[in-house]
Amino acid sequence: MEAFDYSPLAGRVVFGSGTIARLADEVTALGCSQAFVLSDPHHAAGAALRARDVLGNRAVGLSTQAAMHTPVEVTEKVLREVEHTQADCLVSLGGGSTTGLGKALALRTDLPQVVIPTTYAGSEATPILGQTEHGRKTTIRTTKVLPETIIYDVELTLGLPALLSVVSGLNAIAHAVEALYAKDANPVTSMLAERGIAAIAHALPKIVRDGRDVSARSDALFGAWACGNCLGTVGMSLHHKLCHVLGGSFDLPHAETHAVILPHAAAYNAKAAADALNRVARVLGAESAAGGLFDLASELGAPMSLRDLGFDESKLDEAARIAVAAPYWNPRPIEEAAIRALLDDAFHGRRP
């Protein structure tokens, strides 16, 4: 065993079915009594109101304004509402956009957070905040944004549409794939990464066939936590950099962009991170990680190209320039021509 460093993340996890009923108790356990509920327009008339009802008189406000890529202007608007209510904690119910809003508010207020994820984004398990301002997405890593409590309620995911389940799950898998070849990779995180990839990769085909398969939904939700935990304990590399550029600067949808870029980033790093990516291939039962990830996405009906997402081919040069201007660490050197070729493959949806 080689020497390694590993810093586990603090936080409580409540996992099961019907666990939203425990929300009020979890807020009380944090020593809080005035919760501001955050969500998005999709949950405005359903689960968000249910969370507020469970909280009863502990709920002092509700906003359903969460938006993709966590725009700073939205955060600042909701911040004024939170301050007006004198809330002493935040409850975020929804996907990665809602979790991002909660984190952005926690960064500015130091309020504790309870997060109830309804997708497989995994960001609830990380001390990472990505936010967008003036057409650029930046990331911050600080324990100030790490949620104190995560409530996973499998029942809240049963209605998640098949396509959203797929791209959300592939987004989570991307966290674990990059964790395996991260600069600060360690055997604890790597073990969790393999388990997370396997859980989601085996659950998604079942979910596509039957969205109310509780066992598959449970496995996928566990996998999301595992993959998110990986992202939270090690650094990000090329894949996440490209997705942050494409989302923050060109407004491409978050999870779908991860699904498209993942196999191409794996192909880019195939030789430089051979041992790590061989582990991914083995989990998928594929000859290569890049091919296995591409085939999995294809079989599940995910979008396969940046063109499918509405990206303008004439912007590929610009995207490559932005990506190499301030690169994340990566096992293979970041070269603009090679990144431009990667993006071209991703634009056309070529199999690596």
At 113, the pLDDT band (50, 70, 90 cuts) reads very high
The tens digit of pLDDT for each residue in 90-104 reads 999 999 999 999 999
pLDDT of amino acid 2: 78
Buried b (16+ CB within 10 A) or exposed e, 112-144: bbbbbbbbbbbbbbbbbbbbbeeeebeeeeeee
pLDDT bucket at 44, cuts 50 / 70 / 90: low
Phi, psi of 272 (to 5 degrees): -70, -25
Mean pLDDT for the stretch of residues 28-41: 96
Same domain, 210 and 265: yes
Band the pLDDT of 136: cuts 50, 70, 90: confident
pLDDT score recorded for residue 46: 86
Task: Give the pLDDT band (50/70/90) at residue 10.
Answer: confident
- Hey, is 112 helix, strand or coil? coil
> Is the pLDDT score of 135 beyond 90?
no
Is pLDDT at 351 greater than 70 in this prediction?
Answer: yes
Q: Does residue 225 share a domain with residue 331?
A: yes
Question: How many angstroms separate the CA atoms of 197 and 30, rounded?
Answer: 32
234 and 141 housed in the same domain: no
How big is the CA angle at 227 (ends 39 and 207), to the nearest 5 degrees? 70
Q: Residue 2 falls within a domain, yes or no? A: no
* DSSP helix/strand/coil, 295: helix
Separation in Å, CA 142 to CA 13, 127, 233: 19, 5, 11
Q: Please determine, for residue 244, whether its predicted confidence score (pLDDT) is greater than 70.
A: yes
Does residue 203 sit in the same domain as residue 298? yes
pLDDT at 248: 87
Task: Look up the pTM and report it.
Answer: 0.93
Residue 187 confidence (pLDDT) above 80: yes
pLDDT at 317 over 90: yes
Q: What is the mean pLDDT of the chain?
A: 95
User: What number is the average pLDDT over the span 213-225?
Assistant: 98
Indicate if 201 and 339 belong to the same structural domain.
yes
Q: Over 90: is that where the pLDDT of 166 sits?
A: yes
Q: What are phi and psi of 37, to 5 degrees?
A: -90, 130
The CATH number for 167's domain is 1.20.1090.10
Would you say residue 12 has pLDDT above 90? yes
Interval 177-206 mean pLDDT: 97
Same domain, 77 and 131: yes
Q: Is position 31 within any domain?
A: yes
- Domain around 302: 162-348
Burial label, 254 (beta-carbon count in 10 A; 0-12, 13-18, 19+)? buried
Average pLDDT over residues 332-352: 98
What pLDDT, on a 0 to 100 scale, did the predictor assign at position 131?
93
End position of a domain, from candidates 103, 136, 157 = 157
pLDDT on residue 45: 65
Classify residue 151: in a domain, yes or no.
yes
pLDDT, one tens digit per residue, over 46-72 is 888 999 999 999 999 999 999 988 999
Q: At residue 331, does pLDDT exceed 80?
A: yes
Based on the fold, state whether residues 297 and 209 are members of the same structural domain.
yes
Q: Residues 31, 77: one domain?
A: yes
- Domains identified in the chain, total number: 2
Average pLDDT over residues 25-54: 92
In this structure, the answer to whether residues 182 and 101 fall within a common structural domain is no
pLDDT at 283: 97
Q: Say whether both 167 and 151 belong to one domain.
A: no
- Once rounded to an integer, what is the mean pLDDT over residues 299-304? 98
Please report the DSSP string for 5-51 in residue order.
Answer: ---PPP-EEEEESSGGGGHHHHHHHTT---EEEE--GGGTTTHHHHH
CA distance linking residue 234 with residue 216, whole number of Å:
27
Mean pLDDT on 148-165: 96
In a domain, 143, yes or no: yes
Question: Which is it for the CA torsion 344, 349, 350, 352, positive or negative?
Answer: positive
Q: Give pLDDT, residue 269.
A: 98
**3-state DSSP call for residue 132?**
strand
Instruction: State the residue for tokens 């098949």.
Output: 162
Interhelix angle 162-180/187-209, nearest 10 degrees: 160
User: Is residue 123 domain-shared with residue 65, that is, in the same domain?
Assistant: yes
